[in-house]
Structure 1
């Protein structure tokens, strides 16, 4: 037996003990005692890891909250700067000047940028209008997913039993497939 206390090594030890149990090389009491000891250490490791995970998740939440707070604070300063610039523009206009120089800055009234506004689309000459016909396909993804998910479960059940999978299950809806994502850890 390995004396490592790493979680993965403990998990591998359980696998080895179970293999020895299947081969009949260990008596049932030794197997039970060994598994009980290893599983006790693994419980401690898993619980400790979960505690660290919860701390990480709490820190992530705090970071998101702080980011939202700082974003709102940033918008506040943007509004303050915008309002002060607007005030200085009003002062320049009131003085009748287009520019004003200080020792460190030059303030100028800048013309507004141009933007296009279509007031009557039907009145525009044809040279300026491109007409298009668009075909929109609406796919019933939920229906397809339901059928293919049921098929995948049936295929997996047959494979677990070692049975052959009928071809009609393999390509139930041509042009679509469901894919099982990576395994994840569920903790309750």
Structure 2
């Protein structure tokens, strides 16, 4: 693990615990509580650990992207090889044969056949149509509440039939 900050002592021990999937969260919480520093020093230590873990996450994501791309390449090659083999079988008129290792067969796919609607839905008899329930347009409701809603003590916006929850808050480290 490449640390972008120098970690020492209890924070290094904490980072090791966070990286170990087998360490119980309660043990981590107990270690966090036992770290004795001023809040600013503790915050700096936390931020260093957070940044180090974020760097690991980025590295894992890049490796995941690389492997996903490689997987897609293999899937495309498999598809191409199967299409080529099928084309050769059709060209030679052999739709079914067996070798010492494998059996080959061109057959119809299973499952439901694809249905294509060729006319407007209104032109299909009523008995073959599904009635849909009304849906709410959330974006329009948000606009209405922003313009006309009554603000609650908790920061919510209210009307008689809906409300917007208060805007959440979260920690940002820069």
Pairwise mapping of residues 33-112 of structure 1 onto structure 2 (< 5 A)?
A: 41-112=38-109
The structural deviation recorded for 1:85 is 0.6
Aligned to 1:142: 143
The structural deviation recorded for 1:175 is 2.6
The structural deviation recorded for 1:58 is 1.5
Give the alignment's Cα RMSD to 1 decimal.
3.7
The structural deviation recorded for 1:171 is 8.8
Aligned length: 140
Q: Distance in 1 between the 2:122 and 2:169 partners?
A: 59
What are the superposed Cα offsets for residues 4-60 of structure 1, whole Å, 9 maximum, x if unpaired? xx775789xxxxxxxxxxxxxxxxxxxxxxxxxx6xx43322212111100111212
| Distance change in 2, residues 1:8/1:145 (3 Å) | farther
8 A Cα contact 1:92 1:100, kept in partner: no
Greater relative contact order (Cα < 8 A, sep 6+): 2
Q: Provide the TM-score with structure 1 as the length reference.
A: 0.57
Q: Helix, strand or coil for the counterpart of 1:187?
A: coil
Aligned to 2:116: 117
8 A Cα contact 1:99 1:108, kept in partner: yes
8 A Cα contact 2:86 2:106, kept in partner: yes
The structural deviation recorded for 1:145 is 4.6
In structure 1, list runs of 5 or more residues that go unmatched: 1-5, 12-37, 158-169
Q: Report which of the two has the higher share of helix.
A: 1
Q: Distance in 2 between the 1:187 and 1:71 partners?
A: 31
The structural deviation recorded for 1:173 is 1.6
Q: Distance in 2 between the 1:176 and 1:144 partners?
A: 8
| Distance change in 2, residues 1:186/1:63 (3 Å) | same
8 A Cα contact 2:97 2:105, kept in partner: yes
